[in-house]
Structure 1
Amino acid sequence: MTDKNTRKPLVLVDGSSYLFRAFFGMPNTLTGPDGRQTNAIHGVLNMLDSLRKKYDPEHMVVVFDAKGKTFRNDLYPEYKATRPPMPEELRYQIEPLHEIVLAQGYPMLVVPDVEADDVIGTLATGYDGDVIISTGDKDMAQLVNERVSLINTMNDAFHDIQGVIDKYGVRPDQIKDYLTLMGDKVDNIPGVDKVGPKTAVKWLAEYETLDNIIANADKFKGKVGEYLREAIPRLPLSYELVTIKCDLDLSCTGESLSFTKENTARLVELYEEFGFRTRLSKLKESNPEVMAELGELAPTEGGMPIVEEITDVDYQCILTEEQLDEWMDKLSTTKLVSFDTETTSLNYMDARVVGLCFSIEPGKAAYLPIGHDYIDVPQQLDYDMVLARFKPLLEDPTVLKVGQNLKYDRSVLLNHGIELKGIVHDTMLESYVLDSVSNRHDMDTLCSKHLNHQTIKFEDIAGKGKKQLTFNQVTLEEATPYAAEDADVTLRLHRFFAPQIRALKSDVPNQEKLYREIEIPLLKVLSDIERNGVLVNKEMLAVQSVELTTRMAELEKEIFEQAGEEFNLGSPKQIQAIFFDEEKLNLPIIKKTPKGQPSTAEDVLQELALEHEVPRLLLEHRSLSKLKSTYTDKLPLQINDTTGRIHTSYHQAVAATGRLSSSEPNLQNIPVRNTEGRRIRQAFVAPEGRCILAADYSQVELRIMAHLSGDEGLLSAFSSGTDIHKATAAEIFGVPLEEVVVDQRRAAKAVNFGLIYGMSAFGLAKQLNVSRGEAKKYVDLYFARYPGVKAYMEDTREQAKEADYVETLFGRRLYLPNINANNAMLRNHAERTAINAPMQGTAADIIKLAMLAVADWLREGTTNTKMIMQVHDELVFEVDNDELDLVRNKVVELMTNAADLAVPLVVDTGVGINWDEAH
């Protein structure tokens, strides 16, 4: 055991104290490439450099105050109430500073509900050895003793016990009394009026303690004595406010706060982003492999990567411990690992690992089989031994990983108790951010498109159809090139995408930030939501299936009676014969197919149903049939045997606007506006003692329209909290707000939503069942009342035609290849998309930011809440009944603060024992 007197001291850094001192003490001319101040970041980093050089500590931590109020605000609501708000120029430096500190390898703590002082006090008190506290805060002097000293690196002042006495005139054990007597104007802590440092020192020199001063208060003469006696009732509270808590229940100790390996790749990105040229230069000099770490290996020409043609590959199959040792050495010392798993199933909840694949340089990769079980399979390394050896490496955040759809691999590894960390890149998401219009981002497509390489297909080695083998049954001779290729081409794809992603930093910085700060972190959040799953009552669904079958039979009978004969309700040809034959129903032909036949498409049937009964009944039958086959019959089959829950799959790289989609089952399409759809939602239930909380953004796309257009009428309506549809109705119909009737509000709602989706007067007329002239009048009146909206739409169209793309508020680019097409239909659709996509895309970005914020809070572990679904603009949670108020308030706070718009974001919440009740 190391002697505590010979080991290096524990260094505790009051990051928040230095943050403010650096901001106000260093030149505000220190700025990054975007012109924003970086002086606070510079100052704190310089201070950390100085401390590390001076003490060379083994154990060190940087502690920052958490956002929000602390227990002291509960004791005294006016605590710090007089402080001016944090300057915006400082606020936006905090998060980057945190990132840099962590990337440099420093342990960092941000503990909610307390202050950095309390965290430092607890760590200092619990450490069996010398402690150096780096701070400029006088409150910390109360912690000084034989083991604990203070240093202020801003002026290099050092304070042990004698140093405290020399500076303040009192001993460290008297500091709390000293601070209580004086009070603190900055923190709004009341003391004794007119008592400053000299008086406090004088009193404590004579009476030793605050208690003795209070006990002898009658002996104090004159006005100051009156002030003391008047203050006595409030002094115990002030004493409690200035006292640093030293008994927090922390998840770490001083001994556990050791440095981690610096994340060189992230530091390069951050130093470049904030213009730290000297630090960047030194980092590259000391890390010659840094470019490899960043994936900047592929040669480029004119800023674009040149595809590397690799014809001779080296793919190894690892079957011996010697091979494993060799590869483990390579993997643990490399900067970027391309990683993939081969598994027994595509269902991430049931899948088990069959083998691991990895590559660290193009053309070279390995497959480590551990779960193949066909007859005469060669001897493989022990399953549990391999996973145990890989667990530290896979869970090491400093070993950076790239993969293709790593959300799946993360989830499968969790089935084995391994949490995949260090996910810095995902080729599927790289492709998606660079080109969201392309709806195929699978590995085979990306390799063919970008690498001019045809991959080995799964069907080539496993067969097709019912006879298809699972991967554990595939021979090692065939499995090895297939699996190793996955890791190899993933690395090569990343090398192709990486320069383009990094180019976004200068060309489209918000889009690069969107990839790094939204899409990549969201991968883990979605994985957690998927694995949480949602409880479904299969008995309730079985009853609904029977009821739907009965109702469908009734509809079928009624259709046949009105049609005068039976026919196949699923046959377009037979429907044509019944609907349009002159001797049968003789319905009007609204549209024809390319082959000249009368169309029976959904939109045609909907128009016919406005005036004819059989099409209406047929549409109802189709709707019920879809609900039955898609949900009430299928959902029970999708309940996981182990968890008893349904686990959907969320897709980040499908919708061009950035919206998430889901499958197996598709939770986005369960109807909410009809009784049958709501009954299906009733089967999504909470366990006993828990409830479902749904939090839904209210009219978020209209609010985004108000923000983007800057229209004064819309801004005023939303800012005042007026019902936007009633406000629009009042404007369009020229009536006072209080006199708007239901039909007028309905028409205004159709206009509000219709216009942002590019609906024409013709479409609006159909929806409202009015003439086209009447609908056009509504549109014209709308634009007359909200001219900013019309100007925004016109400007957006023109900008899109010039740039071939539009952007969301957060920089997501949505490319419009047909915006200048000669074909009027394609061009008009692109123009409608140009207007809607920024709103829909911004809404998608906002819900993702909200999910990240809520997930960060849930990870703190203060509640037992689970985020179980995301549907459009709604987040759904499973909450303990006794935590409901806390969770609801926090979720609403985080969601409303996810974005800063010119109008407030509003979140509606609902609670129930099932999803329908909560909606």
Structure 2
Amino acid sequence: MTDSKKPPFILVDGSSYLFRAFHGLPPLTNSKGQDTGAIYGVVNMLKSLIKQYNPTHMAVIFDAKGKTFRDEIYKEYKANRPAMPEELRSQIEPLHTIIKAMGLPVIVEPGVEADDVIGTLACRATEHGIDTLISTGDKDMAQLVNENVTLINTMTNQIMDIEGVNTKFGIPPELVIDFLALKGDKVDNIPGVPGVGDKSAQALLNGIGGIDAIYENLDSIADLSFRGSKSMAAKMQEYEEQARLSYTLATISIDLDIDYEIDALRPKTPDNQQLQRLFAEYEFKRWHSEVSALLTGAGDSNDSDSSDASKQNEDSSDSPTALTIDKSAYEVVLDEKQFDQWVEKLNKAALFAVDTETTSLNYMDAELVGISFCIEPGIAAYVPVAHDYPGAPEQLDRDRVLSALKPILESKKHLKVGQHIKYDKNVLANYGITLDGIGFDTMLESYVLNSTAQRHDMDSLALSYLGHKTIHFEDIAGKGAKQLTFNQIDLAEAGPYAAEDADITLRLHKVLWEKLNNIEELKQLLIDVEVPLANVLARMEQQGVLIDSQQLAQQSQDLATRISELEKEVHEEAGEAFNLGSTKQLQHVLFEKMALPIIKKTPKGAPSTSEDVLQELALDYSIAHKIMEYRGLTKLKNTYTDKLPKMINHRTGRVHTSYHQAVTATGRLSSTDPNLQNIPIRNEAGRRVRQAFVPRDGYKFVAADYSQIELRIMAHLSGDKGLLDAFAQGKDVHKATASEVFGVSLEDVSSDQRRSAKAINFGLIYGMSAFGLAKQLNIPRHEAQKYMDLYFERYPGVLEYMDRSREVAKEKGYVETVFGRRLYLPDIKASNGARRKGAERAAINAPMQGTAADIIKMAMIKVDDWITTSVSDEVTMMMQVHDELVFEIKEAHVEEHMRNIVSLMEQAAVLNVPLVVEAGVGKNWDEAH
């Protein structure tokens, strides 16, 4: 078969080779101490296979975590196997990433073993007339061998066809399962029949036939010529149940219900940029050189083909030339003369990179330990001011350094670039310096180029765009509880680390800015939106917000009381006490003891107790409703009422969140410590938490919120006349939709009809199916489908927009917001149906969500400019949550300034429908919302 002109379908038993590479090859680690031997062994094997066979179809299959159906049948299955060593476990995820970057499909199917997936795919390939080569070291796979299926052990280069199975096992492939069932398998802990070995199993199978034939002809066993044949019939009879169990355990499934089409399992063009980064990270030098050479020769040719989503994702990281940096050229500034020289260099520089080194990632608590600069690639310096380890050299006075740097740092004329420079701005603000002249931020440049391609931290970006492995903080500070703070790190290590940060930042900017310069819309988003917004967010973060800790303490007590009551009520309904926080105990009580219907199962086959499952059960069972309430209140207490008072800053008496610009795929902001985005608003307990957010004396809170902004954006993007007219005339759009869908006048729309129309309007934004709508409205699926069909009849532009968005995504690999932000969808052509459908839903929703994110960012910049230039002593922008901005306004000017805020927000962008902002006033956040 291997000599056939038609290249075969290769199925690789990834798990088998992972274990064999780990145990069979010498240990290998990179300079960071990461284990890489198993990765190297498997990738080397894959490269050899591809080179030798050039397959038209190929997939690499791995075992999933957790138990399989065999564990359910026989609890002792594979029980003898020791736990996977951490040295091997740590290599699995990187290996998967590398294989995918090689362009090879990776399959990990929960609840079954890799063998079963391979068996099923091999069977399907045979049905399609495709020859299959299974690459494995697992002898059990011999049962799959036939005229169309062959095995290869790449480590020994041995090929096993039908004749090869006969030679190795002394039986044909169709009796391999029976052979394993009789003799058992110590590795997998398949029991077999005691006393049956290779020779007796071969004699039984060749003399009589398979397991069924043996049990139909037990009397014939004594006539066979092998040792113990006379007593074997009695033994076989005694252990019949065990033999048949072993047969089941040894049988590889060939009929799994898995969502993989053979024709879709084809090698794709390798992502050589990502491979270059990965080979650099894991220090596979020969492969890194090979890929780098390919990239250097290929230039930017791949970028011209926009039909492939994977190639579109490469746009953000064209081939970097491997970077060699002479760190010995960096300066550590310890004397006045040297420092003065650097101040002069900064004064003359058209652009320089700046980076602070501190004692904490918390910008409010961080103390400045030093500051680094770079004026040209390779020309960088670190100015330490607070290293206090034993034997530390004398350093320049921090006040003296900051005083000299203040005019430059605060100058708009001196252009700066940083990596996540908002943090540096906040740290310097603690020392009375308002960092200005911020022209660029490499984190934001990378994020604007492609929000989904990779992480946007410096270490990742340096590997991706420069081919350079930076000094990691853990390399010089250690890990865990014994990790040093920067002030404790010897300058011999701290200096190169800090100077490199500035150097790499400047080098990254040059590469990223060149890319952005070629895409005008993205360039404008960076300069007009993201970079100015970082300044706005820094001011909001420094300002912080007051909270009433006494009120939160009372709420915690009230929540604890209610949580305890719910726990008792659930225990009473269940008829026993158990831990509501234990998924296992909850599964036992709900689905075994109380026999509630199983709505959904986890990947491991256990009944799910997820939120959506409990919501459905709560319609008929009060215990599910109480468990949901228990979970919600427990989370609220642990996350907010208990935690918020502990987060009050000792200097300001306020809570200071951190806003993140480079996290979500769509451009929306997120926040942490505390997360302001997740405080519930639809239940009383969540609203009470908002009541603890209060303005200072003499001020009121004003909350201004965009009304139905994503529906308005849908009207703009789709250009649907019906929707445009409804918004232009200021109609209640849900009522208008109900009127159209249900064929009644606006005045006759019932509350139920409006509720249904609202579900349709918002459901379509998020790609809801008729099944999902039926579930939400608690109506039959066919009725929900009828509603959706009527909707699209009345609003045909919406359906056209949805179809167009999916097609554009497939063609380009991304969709865009109104303002040109690109939202890449790497799964838009995925062979896995669920992932592909998810990407198609995102293609419809992401432009709306992304445009809404862009609009509120523009509004924040516009409002902040008005505040800082006109009313800074009367208005403060406090918080941003989704489509809402919260302000603290002097009581005497509330009405006037609220009108200005609403007007500015409504003018933030011009769409084909009016933007509408609703605002409220209150003595706390809840009251204002």
Say whether the fold is shared (TM-score over 0.5).
yes
Equivalent residue, structure 1, for 2:324: 310
CA deviation string 1:826-884 (max 9, x = no partner): 11111100001111111111101100110110111335200000110011100000111
Q: How does 1:136-285 map to 2 (within 5 A)?
A: none
Letter aligned with residue 856 of structure 1: D
1:473 is aligned to 2:482: no
* Alpha-carbon offset, residue 498 of structure 1: 1.8
Equivalent residue, structure 2, for 1:752: 761
Point out where structure 2 has 5 or more consecutive residues left out of the alignment: 1-295, 302-317
Equivalent residue, structure 1, for 2:659: 650
Distance 1:472 1:417 in 2: 21
Which of these residues, 510, 517, 523, is aligned with residue 512 of structure 1? Answer: 523
Distance 1:695 1:878 in 2: 11
Equivalent residue, structure 1, for 2:745: 736
Query: Which one is further off, 410-419 or 859-868?
Result: 859-868
1:410 is aligned to 2:425: yes
1:640 is aligned to 2:655: no
1:521 is aligned to 2:500: no
Which of these residues, 822, 825, 829, is aligned with residue 813 of structure 1? Answer: 822
Equivalent residue, structure 2, for 1:915: 925
Residues 439, 654 of structure 1: 8 Å contact kept: no
CA deviation string 1:221-240 (max 9, x = no partner): xxxxxxxxxxxxxxxxxxxx
Which of these residues, 426, 441, 445, is aligned with residue 426 of structure 1? Answer: 441
Residues 343, 352 of structure 1: 8 Å contact kept: yes
* Alpha-carbon offset, residue 369 of structure 1: 0.5
Residues 806, 834 of structure 1: 8 Å contact kept: yes
Instruction: Report the secondary structure of 1:811's partner residue.
Output: coil
Which of these residues, 874, 887, 892, is aligned with residue 877 of structure 1? Answer: 887
> What TM-score, normalized to structure 1?
0.66
Letter aligned with residue 635 of structure 2: K
Distance 1:912 1:549 in 2: 28
Instruction: Report the secondary structure of 1:673's partner residue.
Output: coil
Distance 1:658 1:425 in 2: 18
Distance 1:827 1:746 in 2: 30
Distance 2:320 2:845 in 1: 36
Which of these residues, 601, 607, 610, is aligned with residue 601 of structure 1? Answer: 610
1:543 is aligned to 2:543: no
Cα distance change on mapping 1:362 and 1:310 into 2, 3 Å:
farther
Which of these residues, 778, 781, 798, is aligned with residue 772 of structure 1? Answer: 781
Instruction: Report the secondary structure of 2:391's partner residue.
Output: coil
Equivalent residue, structure 2, for 1:574: 585
Residues 535, 687 of structure 1: 8 Å contact kept: yes
Equivalent residue, structure 1, for 2:404: 389
Residues 319, 465 of structure 2: 8 Å contact kept: no
Equivalent residue, structure 1, for 2:91: none
Residues 326, 378 of structure 2: 8 Å contact kept: yes
Distance 1:544 1:772 in 2: 42
Cα distance change on mapping 1:788 and 1:521 into 2, 3 Å:
same
Distance 1:742 1:381 in 2: 71
Letter aligned with residue 652 of structure 1: Q
Equivalent residue, structure 2, for 1:707: 716
Instruction: Report the secondary structure of 1:425's partner residue.
Output: strand
Distance 2:837 2:633 in 1: 34
Equivalent residue, structure 2, for 1:123: none
1:448 is aligned to 2:463: yes
Distance 1:834 1:775 in 2: 23
Q: How many residues align?
A: 616
Cα distance change on mapping 1:300 and 1:856 into 2, 3 Å:
farther
* Alpha-carbon offset, residue 333 of structure 1: 1.2
Distance 1:364 1:299 in 2: 30
Residues 439, 655 of structure 1: 8 Å contact kept: no
Which of these residues, 846, 868, 871, is aligned with residue 859 of structure 1? Answer: 868
* Alpha-carbon offset, residue 678 of structure 1: 0.3
Instruction: Report the secondary structure of 1:861's partner residue.
Output: helix
* Alpha-carbon offset, residue 306 of structure 1: 3.9
Distance 1:301 1:823 in 2: 32
Instruction: Report the secondary structure of 1:325's partner residue.
Output: helix
Residues 305, 496 of structure 1: 8 Å contact kept: no
Residues 310, 363 of structure 1: 8 Å contact kept: no
* Alpha-carbon offset, residue 466 of structure 1: 2.9
Residues 300, 306 of structure 1: 8 Å contact kept: no
Distance 1:698 1:387 in 2: 46
Equivalent residue, structure 2, for 1:18: none
* Alpha-carbon offset, residue 780 of structure 1: 1.0
* Alpha-carbon offset, residue 814 of structure 1: 0.6
Letter aligned with residue 627 of structure 1: L
Letter aligned with residue 336 of structure 2: E
CA deviation string 1:177-231 (max 9, x = no partner): xxxxxxxxxxxxxxxxxxxxxxxxxxxxxxxxxxxxxxxxxxxxxxxxxxxxxxx
Which of these residues, 679, 687, 696, is aligned with residue 687 of structure 1? Answer: 696
Residues 725, 748 of structure 1: 8 Å contact kept: yes
Point out where structure 1 has 5 or more consecutive residues left out of the alignment: 1-297
Equivalent residue, structure 2, for 1:899: 909
Equivalent residue, structure 1, for 2:542: 531
Letter aligned with residue 876 of structure 2: K
Instruction: Report the secondary structure of 1:868's partner residue.
Output: strand
Equivalent residue, structure 2, for 1:257: none
Residues 362, 488 of structure 1: 8 Å contact kept: yes
Q: How does 1:658-673 map to 2 (within 5 A)?
A: 658-673=667-682
CA deviation string 1:751-787 (max 9, x = no partner): 1000011011111111111111121111111111111
Q: How does 1:618-633 map to 2 (within 5 A)?
A: 618-633=627-642
Letter aligned with residue 800 of structure 1: A
Which of these residues, 556, 559, 568, is aligned with residue 570 of structure 2? Answer: 559
Instruction: Report the secondary structure of 2:870's partner residue.
Output: coil
Distance 1:709 1:513 in 2: 24
Which of these residues, 353, 357, 361, is aligned with residue 376 of structure 2? Answer: 361
Equivalent residue, structure 1, for 2:7: none
Residues 879, 887 of structure 2: 8 Å contact kept: yes
Instruction: Report the secondary structure of 1:867's partner residue.
Output: strand
Residues 320, 464 of structure 2: 8 Å contact kept: no
CA deviation string 1:527-573 (max 9, x = no partner): 11111111110000000000000100001111111111112212221
* Alpha-carbon offset, residue 300 of structure 1: 12
Residues 654, 661 of structure 1: 8 Å contact kept: yes
Equivalent residue, structure 2, for 1:888: 898
* Alpha-carbon offset, residue 302 of structure 1: 4.3
Distance 1:766 1:433 in 2: 37
Which of these residues, 613, 618, 623, is aligned with residue 614 of structure 1? Answer: 623
Distance 1:613 1:307 in 2: 63
CA deviation string 1:554-603 (max 9, x = no partner): 0111111111111221222111211211xx11112222222222222222
Instruction: Report the secondary structure of 1:693's partner residue.
Output: strand
Cα distance change on mapping 1:866 and 1:439 into 2, 3 Å:
farther
Letter aligned with residue 455 of structure 1: T
> What TM-score, normalized to structure 2?
0.65
Cα distance change on mapping 1:635 and 1:824 into 2, 3 Å:
same
Equivalent residue, structure 2, for 1:335: 350
Instruction: Report the secondary structure of 2:356's partner residue.
Output: strand
Query: Which one is further off, 299-308 or 476-485?
Result: 299-308
Equivalent residue, structure 1, for 2:26: none
Residues 320, 466 of structure 2: 8 Å contact kept: no
Instruction: Report the secondary structure of 2:631's partner residue.
Output: helix
Instruction: Report the secondary structure of 2:555's partner residue.
Output: helix
Letter aligned with residue 403 of structure 2: A
Equivalent residue, structure 1, for 2:451: 436
Letter aligned with residue 920 of structure 2: G
Residues 517, 523 of structure 2: 8 Å contact kept: yes
* Alpha-carbon offset, residue 354 of structure 1: 0.8
Q: Which has the higher contact order (CA 8 A, sep 6+)?
A: 2
Letter aligned with residue 381 of structure 1: L
Instruction: Report the secondary structure of 1:381's partner residue.
Output: coil
* % identical equivalent positions: 61
Letter aligned with residue 740 of structure 1: V
Distance 1:457 1:812 in 2: 31
